[in-house]
Amino acid sequence: MTGEVALARPRSGWSRLIGFNLLTAVVLGIGGYYLGWFLGHHITGASVDYFGDTDQNDISVFLGYILGVIGFLVGLGFANYPFARLRGYPPSLREKESEGVGRYFGLCTDHKVVGMQYLCGIGLFFFIGGLNAMLIRFELLRPNMQAFPAGQYLTLVGIHGSMMMGMMTSGILGPFANYLVPLMIGARRMAFPRIEALTFWLLMAAGAILTTTIFFGGFPTGWTGYQPLMDQANAGMDSYIVFFALVGISMSLLGLNMLATIITMRAPGLTWSRLPIFCWGVVSTAILMLLAAPVLVAVLSMGMLDRTAQTTYFVVQGGGSPYLYENLFWVFGHPEVYILALPGFAIVLEIIPVFARKPLWGYRLAVAGLLGVSLLSWLVWQHHIFMSGIDSNLRPFYMLSTELISIPTGFTFICGLMTLWRGKIRYSVPLLFCLAWFFNFLIGGLSGVFLSDVPSDTTTHGSFFSMAHFHYTIMGGLVFTFFAAIYYWVPKMTGFQLNERLGKIHFWTMFLMFNSTFAPLFAIGFLDQPRRAVSYAPSLQFLNDWASVSAFALGISMLIFLYNFVWSLAFARVPAGANPWGSRSLEFQLPSPVPVHNFDRIPVIAGDIYDYGTPAPAPTAVPAPAGGAS
């Protein structure tokens, strides 16, 4: 820590509770909710016929949530800066960057603090989503368990899907890109530090709102929210709509911030052809986030109007069409799954050179692969609705465009494999997770070919096969690389090592149990079990039980990780040093933990960060930062 920075004297005791902080935010959030709820009841009352004899009032729920979120953000202090500017105070680029633990619990514009906030916040909701998965697999232990009421089972499925697809979209970009992109490109901050903090707190508000859906009766639609089921559903559906819209706003702002930062704030000498491949992954993902998420917000707004103002965007009898929803949703939804997958590609390509001690093989091909996936992912969305009957003559086109994606994806494979080829491989935990990516994504990608092929899709569509496919690509692709990134970068971020032995135990239980859970689901899907079905044919009980028991073991592997994380960082506290992996990347040339302002002098990049194997002394000419590099 750089103790030299002059700080305001911290207030002590209870007086610290007064002011713009998390407590105020929660109080104002709840207050805002009740204000909206009250206003909503006054707008419609119980007199409008449509609500005549139901006891739900969607307008008051929506108003409650929206005013609650506004109150939450105001309480955190997001309104202070705009008001200060209106009152004539001078502009500032950063604020609320005090030292101490308190900054992690409120609005802070230091990108490193936001990165850690993201890691813990997203981790929390990742575990809630995982808990839901455990409950789902518990219900499926018997063909007809009836442990949960049938409607609650659909809510479980819906929250699991929405939590994972919504919160984990920022799973890499939130914690790691926020923390690392400025360090990798030699910048002192992100382009828009306040927006950066806003994306995090919007996401937390969204996650909390989704969790409250169980108080409103849950929602029956799964994470896709198909119409007209959405129009029909309980008030719990409103939580889903507000949740996903907030996630969409957070995503597009995050993408905007990343693009602006990487385009405008690179250090001198860091040309596009020297940019770390992780940053290229962030660029390709951020493009998708920025452009796809607004479509989601738009389509959910239409759903909200259908549910409150009785518009008929999706009601056939009123001139609407469920196809409109399916199309708009998947125009967002397919880029969305690559928003999840692409950062995984980038992490694999970023980490492998460090542990193979070789330059990244085929840098330009790897970049082309990332950008190619990003581009092609816009042209494939109708493969999600091959069986829906919408303009079926387009199906050969979507079949072709979907299968074309395997070409740029193949670039990532060949670049990663050829980087390992003839390397001097060290089997550290981060590399193990990256190697698992090759296996998982291979299975996920090949099963995707079955789904993209219309004749095969006739059977596999909407079955457990497609469910197993996207768990192989998203859990096997994103979550494994998420853990690779944690084991690789958290020692840098915190300054303490994670236990290697526990990490390996975590890896092997997770890898084996992941495959043991999801491989049988391919068979279950081919054997006629549809997705999201609460009961199934008794003949499939053995395979389902196998998957369930493996899933519980997979859950235990996550607890091993949690134990390792808490034990290593809170109790063992073995210092990691500035560069525990011998990486040549710029972020590892800084001391651990990284000083508040990153670089005392902006570095000049003079070489290639992947220059392993050449006698060049340093890849980058980094002026010595304050505190001294170790």
Binders of another protein in range 516-545 (CB under 8 A): 526-528, 530-537
Q: Which of 582, 601, 621, 630 binds another protein (CB under 8 A)?
A: 582
Tokens read off for 321? 């069409």
Q: Give whichever of 232 and 264 is closer to another protein, judged by the CB atom.
A: 232
Q: Which amino acid is at 336?
A: E
- Least distance between another protein and beta carbon 340 (Å): 21
Q: Give whichever of 294 and 577 is closer to another protein, judged by the CB atom.
A: 577
- Least distance between another protein and beta carbon 51 (Å): 6
Q: Which of 462, 591, 595, 627 binds another protein (CB under 8 A)?
A: 462
Place of tokens 């049988």: 520
Name 35's Cβ contacts closer than 8 Å, sequence gap at least 6. 64, 67, 71
Tokens read off for 312? 């008929």
Dihedrals φ, ψ of 463, to 5°? -105, 180
- Least distance between another protein and beta carbon 205 (Å): 18
- Least distance between another protein and beta carbon 1 (Å): 16
Residues 43-102 that bind another protein (CB under 8 A): 50-56
Picking from 478, 550, 566, 495, the residue whose alpha carbon sits closest to that of residue 517 is: 550
Dihedrals φ, ψ of 217, to 5°? 95, 10
- Least distance between another protein and beta carbon 363 (Å): 7
Residues 382-401 that bind another protein (CB under 8 A): 385-393, 395-396, 399-400
Q: What is the dihedral of CA 612, 617, 621, 625, to 10 degrees?
A: 100
Dihedrals φ, ψ of 508, to 5°? -70, -40
- Least distance between another protein and beta carbon 454 (Å): 5
Q: Which of 117, 612, 619, 620 binds another protein (CB under 8 A)?
A: 612
Contact 241, 330 (CB under 8 A): no
- Least distance between another protein and beta carbon 352 (Å): 11
Cα radius of gyration rounded to whole Å, the chain:
25
Residues 468-527 that bind another protein (CB under 8 A): 526-527
CA distances from 178 to 171, 282, 291, 504, 509 (A): 11, 10, 19, 27, 30
Kind plus residue range of the DSSP H or E element containing 572:
none
- Least distance between another protein and beta carbon 324 (Å): 11
Contact pattern from residue 561 through residue 580 relative to another protein, giving x for each residue in contact according to CB under 8 A and a dash for the rest? -----x---xx---------
Residues 289-328 that bind another protein (CB under 8 A): 315-318, 321-323
Name 614's Cβ contacts closer than 8 Å, sequence gap at least 6. none
Question: What 3-state DSSP class applies to 607?
Answer: coil
Contact 517, 602 (CB under 8 A): no
Q: Give whichever of 81 and 148 is closer to another protein, judged by the CB atom.
A: 148
Tokens read off for 470? 């996207």
Q: Which of 102, 228, 294, 591 binds another protein (CB under 8 A)?
A: 228
Dihedrals φ, ψ of 303, to 5°? -60, -40
Q: Which segment (1-9, 358-366, 478-486, 587-595) binds another protein by CB under 8 A?
A: 358-366
- Least distance between another protein and beta carbon 424 (Å): 4
Residues 97-136 that bind another protein (CB under 8 A): 128, 131, 135
Q: Which of 83, 104, 215, 542 binds another protein (CB under 8 A)?
A: 215
Residues 232-251 that bind another protein (CB under 8 A): 232-234
Residue 542's Cβ-count burial label (10 Å; 0-12, 13-18, 19+) is exposed
Q: Give whichever of 530 and 575 is closer to another protein, judged by the CB atom.
A: 530
Residue 603: how many CB atoms within 10 A of its CB? 23
- Least distance between another protein and beta carbon 427 (Å): 8
- Least distance between another protein and beta carbon 252 (Å): 27
Contact pattern from residue 147 through residue 166 relative to another protein, giving x for each residue in contact according to CB under 8 A and a dash for the rest? -xxxxxxxxx----------
- The strand pairing partners of 435, in sequence order, are none
Contact 190, 256 (CB under 8 A): no
The beta strand positions in 175-305, using DSSP E, are none
Angle subtended at Cα 283 by Cα 260 and Cα 107, rounded to the nearest 5 degrees: 55
Q: Give whichever of 221 and 284 is closer to another protein, judged by the CB atom.
A: 221
Residue 131's Cβ-count burial label (10 Å; 0-12, 13-18, 19+) is middle
Q: Which amino acid is at 380?
A: V
> For another protein, how many residues bind (rule: CB under 8 A)?
123
- Least distance between another protein and beta carbon 28 (Å): 23
Residues 403-442 that bind another protein (CB under 8 A): 403-404, 406-407, 410-411, 413-414, 417-418, 420-427, 435, 438-439, 442
Sign of the CA dihedral 519, 521, 525, 526? positive
Place of tokens 């514009």: 109
- Least distance between another protein and beta carbon 562 (Å): 10
Sign of the CA dihedral 333, 337, 339, 340? positive
Query: Rule CB under 8 A: is residue 222 a binding residue for another protein?
Result: yes
